[in-house]
Every structure is written in C-alpha cells, then in structure tokens.
Structure 1
Amino acid sequence: MCGVCGMLGGEEHWTAESARPEVFGAGRTRRAERLHRAAAANRILTLFGLRLDDWQGSAFVLSGPTGQREIVDTLPAVWAAAARMRGGTIDPLDPVLLDRIAGTGR
C-alpha cells in the first residue's frame, strides 16, 4: 500500500475498538492505546529480531534486522508480515514464548 492510502485509511479493525472512550475509559487516547499495543507486540517481536512502530496513527511499520520494512494496517496483520520477514511462523500465543517473556521461561 502506498503511504497516501495508508494515511487515508479505511474502516477500523475491531481491535481498535478499545481505544473508544466508552469502551476503554476517557483517560486513554487512541494514540496511547496504539503505542501500548505496539510495545506489547515488540516484547515478542524483538525475540525474533523484528520491531514494530506506529506510523501516523493509521498503520504500523514492521522492520527486520536487515532493514526490510513492511507497512501493515492492523495489529493482527503484523503476525503474517513477521512470518514472511522471518521465513517461519510466529505464534504470539505460544505458551513457551509467553513464559519466556514473563521471565518464567521453560
């Protein structure tokens, strides 16, 4: 997707719903929620040499260790893009991976 299309955006993915004040609370902005989600994803992605950044509040940029980058629209799309960059799947709900992040690694 080109940068202009990414900025114009389309419909929100359902995962962005928690940023609505009536759902999550008036004290949390949409931008703060996106940054929080990117940080949570990065706890997993950094284990694979990848990094996720928010781009203008409308998309995410996934970066690989060789400088490869991919713009993704939604957080769920990050995992497919990460698999392509890495050349193998990444399961963000893998219990062993979650234990490792929590510091209780097996």
Structure 2
Amino acid sequence: MCGLCGLIGEDVHWSDPIDTSLPGRRERLRRIASINQVIAPFRLKVSDVQGASYLVQGPTGKQGIASGLEQLWQTAEEI
C-alpha cells in the first residue's frame, strides 16, 4: 500500500461519529486507545498503519493487519 492511501483514510464505518469536533486522525487515535484498553487483558495491542489499517500484535509476536473494525476483532480472535 502506498502512503497516499494513508492520507485518504478508511471507509466510513457505522461506529464513526457523525459530528465530531476532533479531526479524523485524532479521532482514530482516540478509538485505538479505547480498543487497546479493551484488549489489554488478552495481552494484545492495536496500532495505526498510515491511517488506513490497524496492526494487531499478540504477546508472542504474531501480527495481523485489519482494514476496519469488524476485521480488527476477527484478527484479534485469531491471534
């Protein structure tokens, strides 16, 4: 994936706020912080990949890429 895709951003998801005072990138980072709080007991961590995907990392080093929130939860379950 090229860097331009990271600038364009991901598709709109049903959980995205309709009206927010935060810029898109900051809102995405806030969402990732919330996700990390939820999955911390499972020793998983999620990080941003150029504003277009999510990187899910497990405690053993296993990783997976997810393009949206639905795929993120599936990837977390697999790891």
TM range (shorter): 0.7 to 0.9
- Letter matched to residue 46 of structure 2: L
Structure 1 spans left out of the alignment, 5+ residues? 86-106
The answer to whether the 8 A contact 1:7-1:58 is kept is no
Instruction: Extract structure 1 runs of 4+ deviating beyond 6 A.
Output: none
How far, CA to CA, are the matches of 1:11 and 1:35 in structure 2? 13
In the alignment, the residues of structure 2 paired with residue 70 and residue 6 of structure 1 have an alpha-carbon distance, to the nearest angstrom, of 19
Q: Which residue of 2 aligns with 1:100?
A: none
Choose 1 or 2 for highest CA Rg: 1
**Stretches of structure 2 lacking an aligned partner (at least 5 in a row):** none
Give the partner amino acid of 1:40: S
1:8 to partner: Cα distance: 3.4
* Residues 10 and 68 in structure 2, CA contact (< 8 A), matched pair in contact too: no
> What RMSD, in angstroms, separates the aligned Cα atoms of the two structures?
2.4
User: Which structure is richer in relative contact order (CA contacts within 8 A, separation 6 or more)?
Assistant: 2
Count of matched residue positions in the alignment of Structure 1 and Structure 2:
77
Q: What corresponds to 1:48 in structure 2?
A: 42
Q: Which has the higher helix share?
A: 1
TM-score scaled by length of structure 1: 0.62
